[in-house]
């Protein structure tokens, strides 16, 4: 599992674990097609697993990854920043020693400080904690989000425009590891408020599993969405005032998928897309993408154009908003409200 981000200049950045080099590798491809490949090199350590990428507000690329306990690491979480001379890496003190394979998720808050979600466990079905590492006052701090049981697998992290952290993950059923609850947590006034989003019935833990079975994203109007998947389904959930509403975008009677999902929003029109992996036992697998067309005028994204949307439009006019959610003709401007 790796990650991909695109900078404001159009340069694409990819990161993954190079098993032969035993390090994390990053590749950048600019708009002209020029490629640059670099390693986050360490000596005597088989590290660089579970990579996650994020840009800070200054456009500096950061990368979180895992130095696993199985290869002798006593501190497993690392964060690196890319500058003119290459990658500068630091180990996150207090993160502890844990197994790779559960994903890390890196994001920046409104103060331009990095935050990382990671799972501290020693096996796929071993008890473990979902932890939140964050930097403040030039030091790293660690807090536990959930603990007790097979918790916090495959977390993802995103921030809304108010500066609130949103997390998604799955908790595994103690009696049947194929069953999992998809969870959402929001950090409100220093406390994680947790809710259940839905259920997965065909989870595959281990080396063949997706390892990124949840993906949280926040659209420009601060509405929270979560994609999740297992062997037989791709789900899409949206948070409303009365709770989570989930729809099955794809469903199969056979093990057609593997759970890997990545949800993103188009920043110009808030249209969502989900990339997912469809493996094959004989032929090469396929990376697919679902695009979800939004209904023009559905400003609260509940699937209907009704009086609530009229109220939102009226409020936007009164406030002389330039919010792109009101760009119903997809022109890139909200001229009619100014």
Q: What is the pLDDT of residue 141?
A: 97
Q: What is the pLDDT of residue 283?
A: 74
Q: What is the pLDDT of residue 337?
A: 44
Q: What's the mean pLDDT in 264-273?
A: 88
Please check the confidence at residue 171 and state whether its pLDDT lies above 90.
yes
Please state, in angstroms and as integers, the Cα–Cα distance from residue 38 to each residue in 13, 25, 33, 83, 103, following that order. 11, 6, 16, 12, 21
N residues, the chain: 338
* Percent of the chain scoring above 90 in pLDDT: 72
Q: What is the pLDDT of residue 200?
A: 97
Q: Is 154 exposed, middle or buried (0-12, 13-18, 19+ CB in 10 A)?
A: buried
Q: How many CA within 13 A on the CB side of residue 263?
A: 28
What is the C-alpha to C-alpha distance for residues 321 and 221, in angstroms, rounded to an integer? 12
* Edge-to-edge order in the sheet of strand 139-146: 104-108, 114-120, 129-136, 139-146
More confident residue, 262 or 319: 262
What is the C-alpha to C-alpha distance for residues 90 and 100, in angstroms, rounded to an integer? 18
pLDDT in tens, 185-216: 999 999 999 999 999 999 999 887 888 999 99
Mean pLDDT over the full length of the chain: 90
Q: What is the pLDDT of residue 320?
A: 76
Exposure pattern of 257-295 as b/e (b: 16+ CB <10 Å)?
bbbbbbbebeeebbebebbbbebeeeeeeeeeebebebe
Q: What is the pLDDT of residue 338?
A: 46
Please check the confidence at residue 147 and state whether its pLDDT lies above 60.
yes
More confident residue, 324 or 18: 18
Q: What is the pLDDT of residue 331?
A: 54
Q: Are 3 and 64 in contact (CB under 8 A)?
A: no
Torsional sign, CA 147, 153, 154, 160: negative
Q: What's the mean pLDDT in 80-109?
A: 94
Q: What is the pLDDT of residue 316?
A: 79
Phi then psi for residue 109, to 5 deg, are -85, -175
Q: What is the pLDDT of residue 295?
A: 63
Q: What is the pLDDT of residue 208?
A: 79
- What secondary structure does DSSP assign to 192-206, as a single string? EEEEEEEEES----S
Q: Are 149 and 143 in contact (CB under 8 A)?
A: no
């Amino acid at each position: 599992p790796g990650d991909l981000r695109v900078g404001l200049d159009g340069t694409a950045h990819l990161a993954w674990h190079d098993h032969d080099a035993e390090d994390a590798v990053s590749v950048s491809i600019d708009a002209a097609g020029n490629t640059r490949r670099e390693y986050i090199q360490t000596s005597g350590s088989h590290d660089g697993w579970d990579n996650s990428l994020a840009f800070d507000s200054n456009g500096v690329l950061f990368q979180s990854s895992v130095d696993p306990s199985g290869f002798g690491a006593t501190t497993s979480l690392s964060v690196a920043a890319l500058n003119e001379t290459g990658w500068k890496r630091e180990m996150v003190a207090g993160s502890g020693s844990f197994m790779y394979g559960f994903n890390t998720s890196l994001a920046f808050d409104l103060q331009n400080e990095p935050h990382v979600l990671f799972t501290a466990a020693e096996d796929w079905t071993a008890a473990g904690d979902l932890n939140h590492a964050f930097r403040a006052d030039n030091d790293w701090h660690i807090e536990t989000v959930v603990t007790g049981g097979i918790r916090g697998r495959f977390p993802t992290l995103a921030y809304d425009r108010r500066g609130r952290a949103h997390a998604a993950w799955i908790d595994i059923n103690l009696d049947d590891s194929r069953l999992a609850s998809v969870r959402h947590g929001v950090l409100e006034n220093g406390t994680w408020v947790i809710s259940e989003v839905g259920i997965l019935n065909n989870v595959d833990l281990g080396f063949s599993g997706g390892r990124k079975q949840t993906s949280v994203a926040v659209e420009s109007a601060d509405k929270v969405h979560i994609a999740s998947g297992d062997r037989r389904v791709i789900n899409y959930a949206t948070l409303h005032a009365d709770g989570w509403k989930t729809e099955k975008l794809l469903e199969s009677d056979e093990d057609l998928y593997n759970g890997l999902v990545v949800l993103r929003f188009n920043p110009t029109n808030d249209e969502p897309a989900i990339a997912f992996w469809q493996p094959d036992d004989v032929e090469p697998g396929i990376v697919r993408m679902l695009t979800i067309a939004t209904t023009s005028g559905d400003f609260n994204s509940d699937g209907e154009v009704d009086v609530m949307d009229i109220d939102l439009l009226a409020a936007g006019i009164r406030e002389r908003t330039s919010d792109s959610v009101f760009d119903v003709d997809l022109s890139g401007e909200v001229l009619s409200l100014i």
